[in-house]
Structure formats: structure tokens, C-alpha cells
């Protein structure tokens, strides 16, 4: 298939939004089955402890599953259909993919990759306590060492727990809020799960197919992100070469884009280019976690600034990208004040001036209201809008058209 670069970029946007479940209102259905289907399609969902608004993993599911509730995720963990481990960060993954976590577990256990410096005797004691007494939380342990050494100010038993978890001896059997419950892996893993160590070629194939399924297209750089080793890269290239030969994917090269590999079935598909879905995305959402991809395809330069010193922040502490159709129209720095029930739009940044503001304000407000309820808040405050000249337009729209959203009496908005 021959295609010019502008048309290719448009097609790539539509392909990746389709693959990510952002082109339809209920791409995975509803309820618990939809949560499992979403994880299987996306490959993983990142876990994050920041609670400025609803935590990232819950936010990511809520974006794709209208009736999502956190208890559905807990149920899937309890049923052993998903598990926690590391992808590029702490994540929920499909239990069916467990064997592909084994290479990293083995590498850590053999000392090839060192995340922690746990005391071997404390690790032994921690493991035995869980083996004998059953599942434990970190606070169930008293320090088993008199050492004052620490890692991120963790006590030695916490370090031991994380070492045992990362090397695969322990798994997370449940969470109480954000607090982990650890148990022996042999008691958590279903007996039907394949636990054979994949070959390097099998592991490469898993990575390639995961990225192609989740995004519709990929690059070698993305596939091997944070994964070291020339052998892995060579096997990734081998898998891609075979898929090219089998006409499963097509390769594109250009001056302004990296070499990319696109699924041919998605290239040939016809997409609705007039849809106006609006999404308020988590900063950790799978669709935007690869910043270079987003910048290249969507011309949207996104960085999470909560780890940036306040004076150096351009947009705010915890900005949520606003996606309208296949265009990012802006971002909004948000904070849920749960005690007072107020959801604050600390700073709404309107960035795309080519799209009429009035075309996306109504769906933005509807999506915002759903999200505010999901965050257990009852009212909204808009503290700042940029550019300032848009402020009056937005507030006039709210005052004159609020009934159109059918939410006027449900959730008040104030300046």
C-alpha cells in the first residue's frame, strides 16, 4: 500500500485509537468481563499510587468502560485472572501472560538485575512467615533486623518483600486500597497456567504481538523500551521480518517518522473520521504513555510535571490530556478535594485553535461530570483558563447552554 505521509499520520491516529479502545463508547462491553477484555487487549495497565484524582489504573479502565467500578478489578485479582508485576512499570497483566514475566524474575533472582539490596536472612524469615501464617501485608511485619539501613526509607522487611515479589517467589494476592497483600506464588498461580520459561524468540514474539495488538503499529525502539540485550533486539527484528514476509504487517520509513510496522488488516480498514468522542485521559493512560509516539502522530507534546519543581512547570502538577476525536485540544490540571466534595480545574489549557471551541465544550462537560462523580465529588470549581480571552466564552457557554447537557441540577459549576 502506497500512502503519503500526511495521510499515513491520519491513518495511524485512527488505527491506534481503535486498537486502544478509544473510538467507541463501549469497546469492551460492560462489567467485569470488559475489564478483563481491556487488559488482554492493552497487554497491561499501569498501577500508580498518586491520588490527585482517581488513581491511574482505575482512570484508565473508566475511560474505556462506562460502568467501571474499582471492585471489578479486585474481583479479577481474587479470581486469579490477572496478576501484578512489572511491564515498563508496576502493572496489572493478564494471568495468561504470566510465563512472559519469568525472564525478568529469573534475571533478578540470579542477580543479573538488582532492584533491591535485601538481606538474605531477612528474606528467608519473611518467606517462612508467609508460608506458615498465610498472606501478609508489609505492616504485619515487625523489623526482623536491627539494621538502620534503608531504601526509600523502607524498613528491611519491606525491602525483602519487594525482592521476593520481583524475583517471583511471592505474588500480590489482593490489595486493601493501595496496600499490597503478599502470598506464596505457588498458592496464587492457577494450576492451569503455563509456567515454562519462554525462549528468547518466544519472548520477542510476545512483545511484538502485544504492541501490535495494543497500538496497531509499533517501532523496534518501543518494543525494546527498557529491555536490554542485543539478542532480544535481533529476535524482535527476526519476528518482524517474518511478519513482513507473511504480509501481516507493512513497513513504513520516512524523514519525519521512525521506521514503523503497521498491521495490514488495520491499514485496510475503513474508520469513522467524523466521530466526536471526547476523553479525559490519565497521564499514565496506555494511549499516551509513549510520549514520542504521541508527539509524532498527534503533534501533542505531553509531559507529566508532578515530579518537576513547581517554578519550572509549564502546565501544572497533574494535567489530564483532552482528546476530541483524533485531536488533542488541550489539557487540564485537576485536583479532587474529596473531603469538601469539590473537584477543581486548577488550570484549563485550550491549545488547539483550529477546532471550534463550541464543538467540544458540551462533550467535555459531560465527560467531566462523569469523572467528577467517579472521584466522589459533588461540585466543580474552574480556577483558571488559558488563554484568558477564552474564559468568558466558556463561562457564557456554561450559563446559556448548560441545560443541553441535562446535568445542570446535578452538579453545579462555579468560577
Query: For residue 210, is it within any domain?
Result: no
> How large is the average pLDDT for residues 269-295?
90
Residue with the larger pLDDT of the pair 397 and 57: 57
Instruction: Using the CB atoms, write b or e for 320-355: b if 16+ within 10 Å.
Output: bbbbbbbbbbbbbbbbbeeeeebbbbbbbbbbeeee
pLDDT digits (tens, 9 = 90+) for 159-171: 999 999 999 999 9
Query: How far is it, in rounded angstroms, from Cα 148 to Cα 206?
Result: 42
- The total number of residues shown for the chain amounts to 415
pLDDT tops 50 at residue 151? no
Q: Which pLDDT does position 406 carry in this prediction? A: 43
| Highest mean pLDDT (candidates 34-43, 268-277, 349-358) | 34-43
Output the average pLDDT for the chain: 90
25 assigned to some structural domain: no
379: in domain: yes
pLDDT for res 185: 98
Do 104 and 207 form a contact (C-beta atoms < 8 A)? no
CATH number of residue 322's parent domain: 3.40.630
d(CA 382, CA 45): 30
**pLDDT at res. 96:** 97
Poorest-pLDDT segment among 65-79, 222-236, 262-276, 320-334: 262-276
pLDDT band at 299 (very low <50, low <70, confident <90, very high): very high
Asked if pLDDT for residue 409 goes beyond 50, the answer is: no
Q: Are strands 379-382 and 413-414 parallel, antiparallel or unpaired?
A: parallel
pLDDT, average across residues 107-124: 85
Do the domain assignments include residue 85?
A: no
In a domain, 386, yes or no: yes
Where are the strands (E) in 298-410, listed by range? Answer: 319-324, 327-337, 342-350, 379-382, 385-386
All cell numbers assigned to 234:
535481533
Range of the domain at 374: 303-414
Q: What is the DSSP string of 34-83?
A: HHHHHHHHHS-EE-----SSS-HHHHHHHHH-TT--HHHHHHHHHTTSEE
pLDDT at residue 122 tops 80: yes
In this prediction, residue 412 carries a pLDDT of 57
Separation between Cα atoms, residue 362 and residue 164, nearest integer Å: 50
**Has residue 18 been placed in a domain?**
no
Residue 348 in any domain: the answer is yes
pLDDT in the model for residue 222: 93
More confident residue, 405 or 126: 126
405 vs 123, higher pLDDT: 123
Number of compact structural domains in the chain: 1
Distance of alpha carbon 97 from the chain centroid:
17
User: Are 16 and 10 a contacting pair, CB within 8 Å?
Assistant: no
Q: What pLDDT, on the 0 to 100 scale, is given for residue 405? A: 43
CA distance linking residue 144 with residue 160, whole number of Å? 10
Classify burial at 53, counting beta carbons within 10 Å of its beta carbon; exposed 0-12, middle 13-18, buried 19 or more: buried
Does residue 29 or residue 118 have the better pLDDT? Answer: 29
Per the CB < 8 A criterion, the answer to whether 29 and 38 are in contact is no
Contacts of 272 (CB under 8 A, 6+ apart): 23
Is residue 320 helix, strand or coil? strand
- Cα distance between residue 49 and residue 8, in whole Å: 37
Judged by average pLDDT, the poorest of 147-161, 356-370, 400-414 is 400-414
Task: Kindly state the average pLDDT of the residues 103-128.
Answer: 88
38-91 tens-digit pLDDT: 999 999 999 998 999 999 999 999 999 999 999 999 999 999 999 999 998 999
Q: Is residue 84 included in any domain, yes or no? A: no
pTM score > 0.75 for this model? yes
At 192 the pLDDT is 95
pLDDT band at 305 (very low <50, low <70, confident <90, very high): very high
pLDDT band at residue 353 under the 50/70/90 scheme: confident
Amino acid at each position: 500500500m502506497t500512502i503519503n505521509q500526511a495521510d499515513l499520520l491520519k491513518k495511524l491516529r485512527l488505527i491506534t485509537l481503535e486498537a486502544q479502545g478509544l473510538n467507541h463508547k463501549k469497546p469492551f462491553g460492560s462489567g467485569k468481563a470488559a475489564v478483563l477484555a481491556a487488559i488482554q487487549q492493552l497487554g497491561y495497565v499501569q498501577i500508580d499510587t498518586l491520588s490527585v484524582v482517581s488513581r491511574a489504573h482505575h482512570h484508565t479502565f473508566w475511560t474505556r468502560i462506562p460502568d467501571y467500578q474499582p471492585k471489578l478489578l479486585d474481583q479479577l485479582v481474587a479470581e486469579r485472572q490477572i496478576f501484578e508485576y512489572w511491564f515498563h512499570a508496576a502493572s496489572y497483566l493478564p494471568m495468561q501472560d504470566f510465563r512472559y514475566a519469568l525472564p525478568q524474575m529469573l534475571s533478578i533472582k540470579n542477580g543479573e538485575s538488582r532492584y533491591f539490596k535485601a538481606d538474605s536472612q531477612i528474606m528467608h524469615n519473611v518467606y517462612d512467615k508467609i508460608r506458615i501464617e498465610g498472606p501478609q501485608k508489609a505492616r504485619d511485619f515487625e523489623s526482623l533486623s536491627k539494621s538502620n539501613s534503608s531504601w526509600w526509607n523502607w524498613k528491611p522487611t519491606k525491602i525483602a518483600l519487594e525482592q521476593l515479589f520481583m524475583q517471583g517467589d511471592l505474588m500480590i494476592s489482593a490489595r486493601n486500597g493501595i496496600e499490597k497483600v503478599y502470598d506464596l506464588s505457588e498458592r496464587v498461580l492457577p494450576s492451569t497456567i503455563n509456567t515454562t520459561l519462554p525462549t528468547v524468540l518466544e519472548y520477542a514474539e510476545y512483545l511484538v504481538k502485544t504492541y501490535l495488538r495494543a497500538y496497531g503499529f509499533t517501532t523496534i525502539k518501543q518494543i525494546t523500551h527498557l529491555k536490554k540485550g542485543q539478542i532480544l533486539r535481533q529476535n524482535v527484528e527476526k519476528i518482524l521480518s517474518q511478519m513482513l514476509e507473511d504480509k501481516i504487517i507493512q513497513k513504513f520509513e520516512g524523514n519525519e517518522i521512525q521506521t514503523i510496522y503497521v498491521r495490514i488488516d488495520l491499514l485496510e480498514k475503513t474508520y469513522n473520521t467524523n466521530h466526536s468522542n471526547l476523553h479525559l485521559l490519565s497521564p499514565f493512560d496506555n494511549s499516551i504513555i509513549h510520549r514520542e509516539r504521541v508527539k509524532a502522530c498527534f503533534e501533542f507534546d505531553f509531559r507529566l510535571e508532578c515530579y518537576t519543581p513547581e517554578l519550572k512547570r509549564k502546565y501544572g502538577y497533574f494535567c489530564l490530556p483532552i482528546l476530541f476525536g483524533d485531536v488533542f485540544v488541550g489539557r487540564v490540571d485537576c485536583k479532587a478535594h474529596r473531603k469538601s466534595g469539590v473537584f477543581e480545574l486548577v488550570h484549563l489549557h485550550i491549545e488547539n485553535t483550529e477546532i471550534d471551541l463550541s464543538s467540544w465544550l458540551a462533550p467535555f462537560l459531560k465527560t467531566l461530570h462523569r469523572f467528577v462523580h467517579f472521584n466522589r465529588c459533588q461540585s466543580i470549581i474552574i480556577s483558571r483558563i488559558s488563554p484568558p480571552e477564552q474564559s468568558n466564552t466558556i463561562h457564557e457557554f456554561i450559563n446559556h447552554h448548560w441545560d443541553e447537557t441535562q446535568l445542570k441540577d446535578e452538579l453545579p459549576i462555579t468560577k
